[in-house]
C-alpha cells in the first residue's frame, strides 16, 4: 500500500458546486495531516492543517478519520480561483517527528 494515496482526478465542477476529496494514508501512527494547494507551474502552499476534531476555514472543511486512515477536504461554493491541484500531506513517522510525505495530488477544475 502506498504511503499517501489520492484520486488524481481531474474533478471538473461548475461554479458554486460542492466538491470533496479523500486521501488515505498507510502509517497508523501518523499524527500530522495537512492539505496543500498547488497552482499550475507554481510552488505548493499550505491550505490548512487537519485536526482530529475536524476544522473549517471559510468554504473549506477538513476531516480526519483515524480508524479508516483517511482525510477529506470539502470545498463549498466553488470559485474559479479554486482551480488547482490539492495535495494531501502526512508526516511519515509516528508522533510529531519525521518528515512529510506528499500525495500525488487531486486536480480540480472549476468551470463557469
Partner 1 sequence: NAGVTQTPKFRVLKTGQSMTLLCAQDMNHEYMYWYRQDPGMGLRLIHYSVGEGTTAKGEVPDGYNVSRLKKQNFLLGLESAAPSQTSVYFCASSHGTSARYEQYFGPGTRLTVT
Binding site for partner 1 (CB under 8 A): 4, 8, 31-32, 42-46, 87, 91, 95-100, 102-105
Question: Least Å distance between CB 43 and partner 1?
Answer: 4
Question: Least Å distance between CB 103 and partner 1?
Answer: 6
Query: For 25, how many CA atoms within 13 A lie in the half-sphere containing its CB?
Result: 28
71 contacts 55 by C-beta, under 8 angstroms: no
In this structure, what C-alpha cell is assigned to residue 111? 468551470
Q: Which is nearer to partner 1, 31 or 109 (CB)?
A: 31
Q: Look at the block and give the residue holding cell 497508523.
A: 28
Amino acid at each position: 500500500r502506498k504511503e499517501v494515496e489520492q484520486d488524481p482526478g481531474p474533478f471538473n465542477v461548475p461554479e458554486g458546486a460542492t466538491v470533496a476529496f479523500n486521501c488515505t494514508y498507510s502509517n497508523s501512527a501518523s499524527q500530522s495531516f495537512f492539505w496543500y494547494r498547488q497552482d499550475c507551474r507554481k510552488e505548493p502552499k499550505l491550505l490548512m492543517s487537519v485536526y482530529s476534531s475536524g476544522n473549517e476555514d471559510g468554504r473549506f472543511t477538513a476531516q480526519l478519520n483515524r480508524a479508516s486512515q483517511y482525510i477529506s477536504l470539502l470545498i463549498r461554493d466553488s470559485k474559479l480561483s479554486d482551480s488547482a491541484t490539492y495535495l494531501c500531506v502526512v508526516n511519515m513517522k509516528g508522533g510529531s517527528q519525521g518528515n512529510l510525505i506528499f500525495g500525488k495530488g487531486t486536480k480540480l477544475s472549476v468551470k463557469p
